[in-house]
Amino acid sequence: MEEVVKRFLDYVKIDTQSDETKQSTPTTDKQYNFAQKLAEELKEIGLKKVTLDQNGYLMATLAANTDQEIPTIGFIAHLDTSPDYSGKNINPKIITNYNGNNILLNAENNIELTPAKFPELKKYTSQDLIVTNGTTLLGADDKAGIAEIITAIHYLIKHPEIKHGKIKICFTPDEEVGRGADHFDVKKFGAEFAFTIDGGEIGELEYENFNAASAEIKIKGINVHPGTAKDKMVNSMLIASKLINSLPSKEIPEHTEKYEGFYHLLKIDGEVENTYLKYIIRDFSEENFAKRKTYLKDIVGKLNQEYGAGTVELKLKDQYYNMREKIETKMEIIELAKKAMEKANLKPKLKPIRGGTDGARLSFMGLPTPNLFTGGHNFHGKFEFIPIESMLKSVEVIVNIAQLNAEKN
C-alpha cells in the first residue's frame, strides 16, 4: 500500500496538463519532463529496453521468467492530465477511515465533497480516500494508472516465483486532448494485446466506447447600423441559435446515459458578423453515428438555402470509433481480465465507456486494447477522489493478469 500511494502522491504533484491549442507532440514540455523522471524510475526497478522518443512515448520491457511460449501483454497509461481544470500545485489530502459524512476540501471557500451530490462515496465508508484540496483536480486520470502499473511490475520483479511472459509498458502523452495514439509505434511496442489502465471505479472493464466526431461551424453574417438594418443585416448569432434549436433538445450529455448518444456544444463565440460553434458528436451505434452526422449536415444545408450559399460552413472530422468491433473477435482477452478480477475477489463490471481512450484507436491500429479501472471518481475537477483500496486492487488485478496469461498457455 505504501508503495503505490507514495508513487501516486509524488506523481500528482507534477503538473502535466496537455494543451489542445498546441500542435507539438507532446503538447507541453512538462509531460516530457515527467516521462524522463519515470524512465529513470523504470531503470532503477530493473526494467529493460527503456526508451523515450522525441514525441514523449515512454516504453519499457519486463522480460519473461519462463521458457513457455506466452503472448506478450502490454499495459498502457497516459502522462497528461486534463486541461479542463487546474493541474498546478496539486496538494492532495488523505481521509483515513472515511465516516460517510461530508468531506471539507477547502475551508476558505467552503468546498465540500458530499454524499448528497456524489452518492458513490457511501460505497467507501471505512476506507481511506485521497481527495483534492478543492482548488485543483487530483490527477488520478491517469497518474493512478501509472502508479498502479509500475507498482504491479515492481511486485513481479520482487516475486520471481510468479511466472509470467514478456510484459511491455507504455506511458503516452496527450490522451486528454485526443492525440494519445497519434505517434504510438505498435510494431515497436511488440505486444499481442494490451490494457489501458485508465478507467473509473473499482471493477470496471470496458471494451465498448463511443464513435466520435468533432464539428466546427462558422457562420457569416452582415453587420450594418441597427437603425438602417431592415432587409440588410444578417445576425450570425441568431442563425447559430436556429442551428442549436434544430438539434434534438434531449440528446445532450445532461439528458443521456448508458448507450444513448448525443450532440455536445463545447464552445460558442459570436457577434453579428461572425459566430463560431464547436460540437462533438457521440454514439455507440455505427448506424446512429452516421445518422447524427447526416442530420447536422442537413440542418446546415437548410440554413444555407434560407440565408444564401456559404453562410454556414461545417467542418466534420471523425475522431475515433467503437473498439467493440475489434475486441469482440478476441473475447479471450476480456475473459482473462474477468478471471483476474475474480481472483482478486472483485465482480467485473462490464460497461460501455461514454467517451474514448487510447485503447479505442490502438485497437484499430492492430493492438486490441480494452480498458481497466484505476479506482478514481469524478475525473477532471475539484471533486475527484480515489479510494486507496481500489488502487491496491488495481495493482492486484494487473499482477493476476500477468500470472493467468502465463498459466493459460
CA 190 – CA 334 distance, rounded (Å)? 20
CA 154 – CA 62 distance, rounded (Å)? 10
Check pLDDT > 90 for residue 355: no
Check pLDDT > 80 for residue 263: yes
Check pLDDT > 70 for residue 409: no
Query: Are residues 204 and 177 part of one domain?
Result: yes
Q: Which helix (H) or strand (E) holds 103?
A: strand 103-106
Residue 358 has a pLDDT of 87
Check pLDDT > 90 for residue 140: yes
Check pLDDT > 90 for residue 107: yes
Q: How confident is the model at residue 176 (pLDDT cuts 50, 70, 90)?
A: very high
Query: Are residues 49 and 155 part of one domain?
Result: yes
Instruction: Give every CB contact of residue 197 below 8 A, 6+ residues apart in sequence.
Output: 75, 76, 77, 142, 144, 145, 146, 148, 149, 371, 372, 373, 374, 394, 398
Check pLDDT > 90 for residue 1: no
Q: Determine which one of 175, 198, 204, 384 is catalytic.
A: 175
With CA atoms as reference, report the closest residue to 80 among 397, 379, 396: 379
Arithmetic mean of pLDDT, 76-99: 95
Query: Are residues 326 and 297 part of one domain?
Result: no
Arithmetic mean of pLDDT, 153-181: 96
Query: Are residues 122 and 25 part of one domain?
Result: yes
Query: Are residues 99 and 42 part of one domain?
Result: yes
Q: How confident is the model at residue 48 (pLDDT cuts 50, 70, 90)?
A: very high
- Alpha carbon distances (Å) from 29 to 14, 21, 261, 264, 331: 12, 14, 35, 30, 38
Q: Determine which one of 80, 174, 198, 208 is catalytic.
A: 80
- pTM (two decimals): 0.90
Query: Are residues 155 and 67 part of one domain?
Result: yes
Q: What CATH number corresponds to the domain at position 287? A: 3.30.70.360
Residue 356 has a pLDDT of 77
Arithmetic mean of pLDDT, 91-96: 96
Q: Which helix (H) or strand (E) holds 130?
A: strand 129-131
Please tell me the least confidently modeled range out of 35-44, 124-133, 275-284, 400-409: 400-409
Answer whether 197's CB lies under 8 Å from 77's CB.
Answer: yes
Residue 62 has a pLDDT of 98
Number of neighbours of residue 102 by Cβ within 10 angstroms: 13
Residue with cell 523515450: 52
The sheet with strand 93-95 has its strands ordered as: 93-95, 129-131, 385-387
Instruction: Give every CB contact of residue 249 below 8 A, 6+ residues apart in sequence.
Output: none
- The domain boundary, picked from 288, 320, 352, lies at 320
Please tell me the least confidently modeled range out of 183-192, 231-240, 356-365, 368-377: 356-365
Provide the residue range defining the domain that includes 299. 211-320
Check pLDDT > 90 for residue 357: no
Q: Note if 120 is an active site residue.
A: no
Query: Are residues 275 and 139 part of one domain?
Result: no
Q: Note if 260 is an active site residue.
A: no
Query: Are residues 273 and 129 part of one domain?
Result: no
Query: Are residues 108 and 203 part of one domain?
Result: yes
CA 5 – CA 151 distance, rounded (Å)? 10
Number of domains in the chain: 2
| 179-235 confidence digits (pLDDT tens) | 999 999 999 999 999 999 999 999 999 999 999 999 999 999 999 999 999 999 999
Residue 178 has a pLDDT of 86
